[in-house]
Amino acid sequence: MINKLLIANRGEIACRIIKSCRELGIGSVAVYSDADADARHVAMADEAVRLGPAPVSESYLRTDAILDAAKLTGADAVHPGYGFLSENPEFVEAVEAAGLIFVGPSASAIRAMGLKDQAKTLMEEAGVPVVPGYHGAEQDPEFLAQKAAEIGYPVLIKARAGGGGKGMRLVEAPGDFADALVSAAREGKASFGDPHCLIEKYIQSPRHIEVQVFGDAHGNVVHLFERDCSLQRRHQKVIEEAPAPGMTDELRAAMGAAAVAAAKAVDYASAGTVEFIVDGAAFPDPKAFWFMEMNTRLQVEHPVTEAVTGLDLVALQLSVAGGEPLPFTQDEVTVRGHAFEARLYAEDPANAFLPATGQLNRLWFGADARIDTGVGEGDVITQHYDPMIAKVITHGEDRATALRLLARALEDTKVAGVQTNRDFLIRLARDEDFQAGDVDTGLIARKGAELVADLPATTLDWAAAALCVLRVPAGLGLVGLANFRHFGAARQIVRFEEAQVTVETLGGQVRLETPDGELNVSAVDWVGDALSFIVDDRRVRFHVLADEQSVSVERQGSTRGFALLQSGSNADAGSGDVVLAPLTGRVVSVMAKAGDVVAKGDALLVLEAMKMEHRLVAPRDGTIAEVNTGEGEQVDQGAALVKLAEVEP
Ligand code: ADP
Ligand code: ADP
Ligand code: MG
């Protein structure tokens, strides 16, 4: 029986585990690094203990500090989550030596599956089909090259200690083998402290299909069906689903039986995943699947299994770790409907998917999906940890419904302040081949640019961006401008780095000249960050966000960013009758007064904003009608500071 659980992890998985603790009435203890002192998992847990500075080697990987925290709080069990110490047998032994329950498999099961070569040997003995290849001890490069030739190209070199897609090299031709081996071994050594490699036949048009298994301390092992994780980028999962598209009863039974045999071979007790590679060309041939590795922990994508089985895998882990037998038999679990999970990352798809960092100025999710996240609005994505922002999980009666729901849930997801892969995920969710269930691990690479290329901004995008810039927090904005009708049509120019947009308002009509053409809109309306207007009797909606440097406009799942021309250039943007404050700031000097005759370009006043002085100039020749501000005054962005007298037609 577990009364109080320490969660030796952070982020979404720590929050996910704490949630189950709450539902079970089990106490929760969070641990944190200095970078996470205000993190969501710390706030969610009943208690929290500091481990040390931000680097993982000084915090989340410190067995001693974690055990001290357990002792300090009287926790009786430790859940490792995934990553970090979750597959470290020495950690399991240290936890158990301290008299605590480790929520996961035994140290020996982890050890047996820890190195891919040993695991494959063990699986062969257990009668589980393994990927053809060489996984012996000999590491001589010439010997391995010889083995590769026997296996037949293309081959995959894998660092036996590798994980998360690291330490793998695809080799297409014998001439490339030697270099690839050196670099795989180097990466294995650098990332996992082990240069030892194995060689595998590279399966063509492969599908990654894995089976969730569950064992208890009484020798029962069941499988909880499969997940298809074929949508990968550089061997890392992007979107996962359950069940696998096109799965047959026959193949499922064969894979399920192999997975259970794999787990039984190591007396597995807890949640685990047996990963198979499936020959896409032969699918669903019940013989065309081979064991790749077993992940001896809760998997990132476990929620899709939860969605289709209705089970809480963390609750089940806790119950099994407490010594309870599995509460059901194989025949009693069924699959209902279909589920997807997409991993929302702070990264820049247009820039080789480089991890992104920054503050989440906006973070908002729709109401119709399961969202597993460890961050909230205002939190910072740092370079210290995995840049995953959230997992978006949907469940529907059938695959098409669940996938539509996924695209919709991603559209409903609003993030600002940090680059994300959201739009990439949406394009993927709408991809025809993916929708048809025609998946293999090469799909993303094949589509390449199609999924990441910036689409050109449309007239509507330009219009929305300009209207967003002209929006005034104080409630003036276009509506306000329209009230200045007695001055004639207000004409303003919004200058972006790429091009400018001219905005003319007359009554309720707005005429925009964009680089992409002209547009007439009416009935501009704002609700929070939502902007809508009518074009040709159709109301179009955008979600827009602006800061001092840029505007981002988003519609139907596509986001476009526009950089504002800097250094006060928008300050002299008005070419109409009103000079607006381009930014919120302080008026430092006023040169203009009512009645002055000015020429276009004459300085009217100086505004200090964003630590810079912005000179506001006359938009045209004319006479000053009103000056609505004075030196030292604070003004809001968009405030009408100076008005020119109307020019008689
Ligand atoms: P999955 O995504 O299927 O759960 P991965 O192999 O991608 O499995 O790993 C999940 C998490 O564990 C990721 O955060 C990854 O970075 C981390 N991880 C996997 N293997 C290792 C390892 N050997 N050392 C450190 N972290 C790892
Ligand atoms: P990791 O520990 O990094 O997760 P895996 O052995 O699970 O390493 O492989 C990761 C991914 O690489 C798989 O999901 C699959 O896409 C691809 N892969 C692995 N082995 C093969 C193979 N023999 N043929 C084709 N693709 C493979
Ligand atoms: Mg794997």
DSSP labels, 461-494:
HHHHHHHHHH--TTS-HHHHHHGGGGG--EEEEE
CATH of the domain at 586: 2.40.50.100
157 and 218 fall within a common domain:
no
Query: Of the ranges 396-400, 617-621, 638-642, which is most confident?
Result: 396-400
Residue whose CA lies nearest to ligand 1 atom number 7 = 164
Q: What is the pLDDT of residues 9-39, one digit of tens each?
A: 999 999 999 999 999 999 999 999 999 999 9
Q: What is the pLDDT of residues 218-238, one digit of tens each?
A: 999 999 999 999 999 999 999
Please state, in angstroms and rounded to a whole number, the distance separating the CA atoms of residues 11 and 40.
7
Mutate to test the pocket of ligand 1, among 10, 16, 82 (most ligand atoms within 8 A of CB): 82
Residue 393 inside a domain? The answer is: yes
Residue 327 pLDDT > 70, yes or no?
Answer: yes
* Predicted pLDDT at 412: 96
- CB–CB of 81/87 below 8 Å? no
Mean pLDDT value across residues 511-527: 92
Residue 125 inside a domain? The answer is: no
* Predicted pLDDT at 321: 98
- Could you tell me the strand order of the sheet in which 640-644 lies? 578-580, 640-644, 622-627, 597-598
200 within ligand 2 shell (Cβ under 6 A) = yes
383 and 277 fall within a common domain:
yes
* Predicted pLDDT at 488: 41
Q: Reduced to 3 states, what is the DSSP secondary structure of residue 368? A: coil
List the catalytic residues: 297
Residue whose CA lies nearest to ligand 1 atom number 25 = 83
Residue 325 inside a domain? The answer is: yes
Domain carrying residue 548? 459-563
Q: Please enumerate in sequence order all residues whose Cβ is within 8 A of that of 580, keeping only pairs 6 or more positions apart, or say none.
A: 470, 472, 492, 573, 574, 638, 639, 640, 641
Question: What H or E segment, with its residue span, contains residue 1?
Answer: none
Residue 112 inside a domain? The answer is: no
Which of 319, 335, 214, 297 is closest to 263 using CA atoms? 214
CATH of the domain at 140: 3.30.1490.20
User: Residue 585: which pLDDT band, with cuts at 50, 70 and 90?
Assistant: confident
302 and 411 fall within a common domain:
yes
CATH of the domain at 523: 3.30.700
Give the count of domains, the chain.
5
Residue 191 pLDDT > 70, yes or no?
Answer: yes
Mutate to test the pocket of ligand 2, among 86, 168, 229 (most ligand atoms within 8 A of CB): 168
Mutate to test the pocket of ligand 2, among 283, 292, 440 (most ligand atoms within 8 A of CB): 292
Mean pLDDT value across residues 146-175: 95
435 and 325 fall within a common domain:
yes
CATH of the domain at 31: 3.40.50.20
Residue whose CA lies nearest to ligand 1 atom number 22 = 163
Please state, in angstroms and rounded to a whole number, the distance separating the CA atoms of residues 421 and 347.
6
415 and 541 fall within a common domain:
no
Query: Of the residues 452, 470, 493, which one is the last residue of a structural domain?
Result: 452
Q: What is the pLDDT of residues 114-151, one digit of tens each?
A: 999 999 999 999 999 999 999 999 999 999 999 999 99
460 within ligand 2 shell (Cβ under 6 A) = no
Ligand 3 ion local residues (Cβ < 5 A): 275
User: Residue 610: which pLDDT band, with cuts at 50, 70 and 90?
Assistant: low
Q: Reduced to 3 states, what is the DSSP secondary structure of residue 208? A: strand
Query: Of the residues 155, 182, 201, which one is the last residue of a structural domain?
Result: 201
177 and 236 fall within a common domain:
no
Query: Of the residues 452, 487, 510, which one is the last residue of a structural domain?
Result: 452
Atom number, ligand 1, closest to the C-alpha of residue 236:
7
CA of 188 to the centre of ligand 1 (A): 14
Atom number, ligand 2, closest to the C-alpha of residue 237:
14
552 within ligand 2 shell (Cβ under 6 A) = no
Residue 508 inside a domain? The answer is: yes
CA of 504 to the centre of ligand 3 (A): 57
The CA–CA distances, whole Å, from 616 to 467, 581, 583, 619, 646 equal 20, 8, 11, 9, 19
Please state, in angstroms and rounded to a whole number, the distance separating the CA atoms of residues 513 and 501.
6
Mean pLDDT value across residues 44-62: 97
Residue 108 inside a domain? The answer is: no
* Predicted pLDDT at 475: 35
Residue whose CA lies nearest to ligand 2 atom number 22 = 202
Atom number, ligand 1, closest to the C-alpha of residue 301:
4
* Predicted pLDDT at 483: 34
User: Residue 188: which pLDDT band, with cuts at 50, 70 and 90?
Assistant: very high
Residue 547 pLDDT > 70, yes or no?
Answer: yes
Residue 568 pLDDT > 70, yes or no?
Answer: no
CATH of the domain at 221: 3.30.470.20
Mean pLDDT value across residues 449-465: 92
Residue whose CA lies nearest to ligand 1 atom number 16 = 164
479 and 527 fall within a common domain:
yes
83 within ligand 1 shell (Cβ under 6 A) = yes
Neighbours of 142 (CB within 10 A): 9
CA of 166 to the centre of ligand 1 (A): 9
CA of 164 to the centre of ligand 2 (A): 9
Looking at residue 372, its amino acid is D
* Predicted pLDDT at 600: 83
343 and 432 fall within a common domain:
yes
* Predicted pLDDT at 478: 38
* Predicted pLDDT at 575: 46
User: Residue 578: which pLDDT band, with cuts at 50, 70 and 90?
Assistant: confident
CA of 539 to the centre of ligand 2 (A): 47
Mean pLDDT value across residues 436-444: 97
332 and 389 fall within a common domain:
yes
275 within ligand 2 shell (Cβ under 6 A) = yes
Atom number, ligand 1, closest to the C-alpha of residue 163:
20
365 and 426 fall within a common domain:
yes
Choice between 525 and 44, residue whose per-residue pLDDT is larger: 44
Q: What is the pLDDT of residues 64-93, one digit of tens each?
A: 999 999 999 999 999 999 999 999 999 999
Query: Of the ranges 42-51, 358-367, 496-505, which is most confident?
Result: 42-51
* Predicted pLDDT at 607: 81
Mean pLDDT value across residues 406-427: 96
* Predicted pLDDT at 485: 33
237 within ligand 1 shell (Cβ under 6 A) = yes
Atom number, ligand 2, closest to the C-alpha of residue 133:
23
Mean pLDDT value across residues 43-68: 98
Mean pLDDT value across residues 299-320: 98
Residue whose CA lies nearest to ligand 1 atom number 27 = 83
298 and 365 fall within a common domain:
yes
CA dihedral (607, 609, 611, 614) in degrees, to 10, reads -40
Residue 538 inside a domain? The answer is: yes
Phi and psi at 451, nearest 5°, equal: -90, -15
Q: What is the pLDDT of residues 270-294, one digit of tens each?
A: 999 999 999 999 999 999 999 999 9
Residue 109 inside a domain? The answer is: no
CA of 104 to the centre of ligand 2 (A): 23
Q: What is the DSSP string of 300-343?
A: TTHHHHHHHH---HHHHHHHHHTTPPPSS-GGG----SEEEEEE
278 within ligand 2 shell (Cβ under 6 A) = no
220 and 309 fall within a common domain:
yes
Least confident piece of the model among 29-38, 181-190, 618-627: 618-627
* Predicted pLDDT at 649: 52
Please state, in angstroms and rounded to a whole number, the distance separating the CA atoms of residues 493 and 573.
5
* Predicted pLDDT at 384: 93
